[in-house]
Amino acid sequence: MNRTAITISLVPEARGGPFVFWDLEEGCRKAKAAGYDAVELFAPSAEAVTAAGPAIARHGLALAAAGTGAGWVLHKLTLTSPDPEARSRARAFIRGFVDAAGRLGAPAILGSMEGRWGGPVDRKEALRLLAEALEDLGEAARRYDVPFLLEPLNRYEGNVVCTLADGAAIVDGLATRNVGLLADLFHMNIEERSPAGALREAGGRVRHVQLADSNRHPAGLGHTDWAAVAAAVREIGYAGAISAEALPFPDPDTAAKTAMDTIRKHFR
């Protein structure tokens, strides 16, 4: 049975993003009450991930994953920046998350810090820079026995890796075998011809799944075919977390319940 998780953001500057809860203690308490096994953190720093560990454990939860997007939101750092010094800072920022999450038994996520190609960095160069960083980050995560997660983003949020096939092409070309794909159903509803088909094609490369409906509301409030998605998840033998990463619509408590109802209906 897949472990369930729900998102908590600790970054006020990310208000409006797809995070259900916005306070660590309250989020952990409500996650546990709603039946979740774990939380997924969007934290401002690696130190904040480490500091959150005791509260997560105190509520009988685990850390499912830690997002690194604050590196972009707060510092405008990306791994494909034309500035070598900025790329170095971006990698160091992410390495901190790899270590902090890894010590708690969880992977770190690379999403918005992938950056964008354009201007002085064309797509070929962006892919080269991204792959170079992934080699390092994947091996850094390996010592904690967790993968490093690469998240394809829709075209409006990124243009380097937009589909699971894009991600698979990069992952398959790496020397490290410790980079996996994060399948976010919101992004997939925009970019994939068939989310379920894309999951089947990606197969065992998928190491984390995030649920949000077609409108980024909690799963069950849009037009995503969750029965088909769940069937594909089972077919590829996915054993990782099913994480509710969605807008807190119409409010956090209802969002948590709606997402859990959909998980129980289709994924259990």
Predicted pLDDT at 129: 98
Predicted pLDDT at 232: 98
Domains of the chain: 4-266 (3.20.20.150)
User: Rg of the chain's alpha carbons, rounded to an integer?
Assistant: 17
User: In the predicted model, is pLDDT for residue 130 greater than 90?
Assistant: yes
Q: Rounded distance, CA 88 to CA 115, Å?
A: 14
Predicted pLDDT at 216: 98
Q: Rounded distance, CA 142 to CA 241, Å?
A: 18
User: In the predicted model, is pLDDT for residue 208 greater than 90?
Assistant: yes
Measured in degrees and rounded to the nearest 5, phi and psi for residue 118 equal 145, 160
Assign 3-state DSSP to the chain and report helix, strand, coil percentages, each to 5.
45, 15, 40
Predicted pLDDT at 1: 85
Q: Which residues are tagged catalytic? A: 151, 245
**How confident is residue 147, by pLDDT bands cut at 50, 70 and 90?**
very high
**How confident is residue 122, by pLDDT bands cut at 50, 70 and 90?**
very high
H or E element at residue 109: strand 108-110
Mean pLDDT of the chain: 98
User: In the predicted model, is pLDDT for residue 183 greater than 90?
Assistant: yes
Predicted pLDDT at 203: 98
pLDDT tens per residue across span 75-95: 999 999 999 999 999 999 999
Predicted pLDDT at 206: 98
Residue in the block written with tokens 């934290």:
43
